[in-house]
Amino acid sequence: MANFFNASDIVGTAIEIERRGRNVYTQAAAGATNPDVKRFLEFFAGEEARHQALFEAMAGRVGKAAIPAGSDEEEYMDYVQALLDSHALFCGGAPEKDLADAADAIAAIELASRFEKDTILYFREMMDLLPAAEAGIVKQCLDEERGHLRQLRGMLAKLRNNG
């Protein structure tokens, strides 16, 4: 028999990931001296805000979620917690402090790349925990996060080539 838990907690964590990501991008944009980098980071802040709104709307629709078939509930929940504990937006100091300590735009974009990658991992697991109708929304956000990571890596290459 499948074990169930409150899916709104999983969605609430996604909301927090997006909120923190938006704050980091907003702060990075405010400190950017290169106008292209500033616009680039402002775009990402808007993307995070849009994802946050999608998850906030979802939060009221989800109830219980099943642990994936064949999984041990305690081990699986420990795994999900480990994903969060190691997420660049949650581990160590505050990401805003990490960003403030970033030496330049390259360091800021490297930090952003880490939290986008960590978000991709979390969203991938999240898809398996929600009803199919909601998993489609998570898949959309997951695909967009993958695109964000590619865009960040492209900007990083551009900055390194121009520096």
Tally of domains in the chain: 1
As a whole number of angstroms, the distance between CA 122 and CA 142 comes to: 9
As a whole number of angstroms, the distance between CA 46 and CA 73 comes to: 36
Total-model pTM: 0.81
Beta-carbon count within 10 A of 81 CB: 11
Q: How sure is the predictor about 4, in pLDDT bands with cuts at 50, 70 and 90?
A: very low
pLDDT in tens, 59-87: 888 866 666 666 667 777 777 777 777 77
Sort strands 4-6 and 64-66 into parallel, antiparallel or unpaired: antiparallel
The tokens for 121 are: 């991992």
Mean per-residue pLDDT for 133-147?
Answer: 92
pLDDT in tens, 28-66: 888 888 888 889 889 999 999 999 999 999 988 886 666
**What is the extent of the structural domain holding 117?**
4-162
Q: In this model, does residue 93 exceed pLDDT 60?
A: no
Q: What is the CATH number of the domain that holds 82?
A: 1.20.1260.10
Of the listed ranges 33-47, 58-72, 89-103, 133-147, the least confidently predicted one is: 89-103
